[in-house]
Amino acid sequence: MAKEKERKAPKAPAANAGDAPGAEATVLDGSPTRDAPGYTVLARRYRSQDFGEVIGQEAISRTLQNAIRTGRTAHAYLFTGTRGVGKTSMARIFARALNAVETLEEKDAVAKAIMRGEDLDVIEIDAASNRGIDNARDLINGAGLMPSRGRYKIYIIDEVHMLTTPAFNALLKTMEEPPPHVKFILCTTEPQDVPATIQSRCQRFDFRAIPTTKIAEHLRSVIAREKYAADERVVMQLARLANGSMRDGLSLLERLLAAAETDESSKDGVKATLTWALLEDIFGLPDETLLERVVEAIGQGDARAALERGAELLDRGLSIERALDLLAERFRWLMLAIVCGKDTELLEVASDTRDALARLAPMFDAASLVHRIALCDAVASKARDSSNPRTLFDAGIVRQCYVEQFASAAAAISGAPPTGAMSGGPPAKKPSSGSATLSRGPR
């Protein structure tokens, strides 16, 4: 039999600009083929590439740029903050600004290699998997070598708090008096676990959680660039779920894009619209209208309707703790709408939600809403350890409907006159010393 001819993989279309070079794919017979297209996740494709693109960290960007311009860069930096706020991106951008200078012949190649994490002079180390003293010794030995192309040899150590105590101790001397061509950038989400002796040798920058409005603004830009459309409520909910982390926001958006039914032949160029119904289905969120109906029933003091609608929330798969958390969140929105007005920037919600809050606000007062939020938290905490959490949930719903009656009963038991703290009226005034009710007669 003639020898079987070698099969060739079909020619693949060009990969996206953000795809990793040299990616491998597998054809049906299991053999790999080079240069096949691969998908790059949104968090990598839309990663910050310049100081001005690091969202929510403008003060840090400005400080580092000033240090470079005035020649006052330190030998060691400590970047702290929660996940997804730009620590590693800022470290790479800072390293590029230090090494990819105008006088360098290979400036563009060096800059791109640094941003990909592949440059020979910018060494990125994952402290979670390189945490021992032997790894620290290798780093110290490598620090003595001169950089190959750039001005500095820069070590970016991610999750530095994972290093062992002996490893930290081994680094102390090198970090205090490193060679003039070496700089350290330490990144961590747990600064309290980094020894004080290490922190004292670094310039520390605390990265803030990114405001919800800025996350929403960036998500809108990404959605448009990906040729999708989205309801305003969907964008704001994604931004809130991100909880201050841009990477989390982009990851949540990616799940939604993957679930959307796309239409490549759309005349307006929009592949699909991200709707609230899709968001509820993918993330298991309750119907917003149903939540509004629960709050409305509580505001009207209709315990039966509140219990029935609360039961419907649970029947749709929502846990008791989650249901109470969502109720507390709605009470907070109402409190802000009452105290600051529905157009306040503190309300990070869409315009139609603001209108719904304006409709519900007359049923409540700010003082009682503070009590309602605390009540939701207390019931959720008790339900977590209870053998019968549903009983606590139902009792909490009924108590929400009868807040004023409970306040009046408590006042009657204590012998004190009821104040406006729960009923919405003004607090009772204390009688003055000269009041007729306190007449003492002539002395």
pLDDT tens profile 369-425: 999 999 999 999 999 999 999 999 999 999 999 987 766 655 555 655 554 444 444
Task: Looking at the structure, tell me whether residues 52 and 197 fall in a common domain.
Answer: yes
Whether the pLDDT of residue 431 is over 60: the answer is no
Sequence-separated (6 or more) residues with CB below 8 Å from residue 404: 368, 422, 423
Q: Is residue 180 part of a domain?
A: yes
Whether the pLDDT of residue 17 is over 50: the answer is no
Residue 238 banded pLDDT, cuts 50, 70, 90: very high
Task: Looking at the structure, tell me whether residues 232 and 164 fall in a common domain.
Answer: no
Q: Is residue 402 part of a domain?
A: yes
Give the domain extent around 245: 212-283
Q: Is residue 1 part of a domain?
A: no
For range 106-135, the mean pLDDT: 92
DSSP string covering 256-302: HHHHS---TT-TTS---EE-HHHHHHHHTPPPHHHHHHHHHHHHHT-
CA distance 441 to 17: 92
Task: Give the pLDDT of residue 8.
Answer: 41
CA distance 76 to 91: 11
Task: Looking at the structure, tell me whether residues 320 and 185 fall in a common domain.
Answer: no
Please tell me whether the overall predicted TM-score, pTM, comes out greater than 0.85 for this model: no
Q: Is residue 365 part of a domain?
A: yes
Of 225, 250, 283, the residue that ends a domain is 283
Count structural domains, the chain.
Answer: 3
Task: Give the pLDDT of residue 7.
Answer: 41
For range 167-191, the mean pLDDT: 92
Task: Looking at the structure, tell me whether residues 238 and 161 fall in a common domain.
Answer: no
CATH number at residue 381: 1.20.272.10
Task: Give the pLDDT of residue 443.
Answer: 40
Task: Give the pLDDT of residue 19.
Answer: 39
Residue closest to 181 by CA, chosen among 156, 204, 203, 148: 148
Task: Give the pLDDT of residue 408.
Answer: 60
Of 283, 302, 335, the residue that ends a domain is 283
DSSP string covering 41-88: -HHHHT---SGGGSTT-HHHHHHHHHHHHHT---SEEEEE-STTSSHH
CA distance 186 to 91: 9
Tell me the pLDDT of the chain averaged across its residues: 84
Q: Is residue 429 part of a domain?
A: no
pLDDT tens profile 61-108: 999 999 999 999 999 999 999 999 999 999 999 999 999 998 888 899
Task: Looking at the structure, tell me whether residues 266 and 365 fall in a common domain.
Answer: no
Task: Looking at the structure, tell me whether residues 49 and 197 fall in a common domain.
Answer: yes
Residues forming a β-bridge with 26: 32
CATH number at residue 252: 1.10.8.60
Only one residue has tokens 């970016």, namely 156
Phi, psi of 101, deg, nearest 5 = -90, 165
Task: Give the pLDDT of residue 14.
Answer: 39
Task: Looking at the structure, tell me whether residues 117 and 93 fall in a common domain.
Answer: yes
Q: Are 188 and 80 in contact (CB under 8 A)?
A: yes
Task: Looking at the structure, tell me whether residues 239 and 188 fall in a common domain.
Answer: no
CATH number at residue 87: 3.40.50.300
Q: Is residue 168 part of a domain?
A: yes
Which carries the bigger pLDDT value, residue 87 or residue 434? 87
Q: Is residue 30 part of a domain?
A: no
Of 221, 253, 283, the residue that ends a domain is 283
Whether the pLDDT of residue 208 is over 60: the answer is yes
CA distance 108 to 166: 39
Task: Looking at the structure, tell me whether residues 375 and 275 fall in a common domain.
Answer: no
Only one residue has tokens 């459309």, namely 229
CA distance 212 to 335: 19
Task: Looking at the structure, tell me whether residues 354 and 398 fall in a common domain.
Answer: yes
Residue 287 banded pLDDT, cuts 50, 70, 90: confident
For range 149-165, the mean pLDDT: 93
Q: Is residue 104 part of a domain?
A: yes
Whether the pLDDT of residue 264 is over 80: the answer is no
Task: Looking at the structure, tell me whether residues 195 and 60 fall in a common domain.
Answer: yes
Whether the pLDDT of residue 265 is over 80: the answer is no
Task: Looking at the structure, tell me whether residues 190 and 246 fall in a common domain.
Answer: no
Strands 32-34 and 24-26: what pairing?
antiparallel
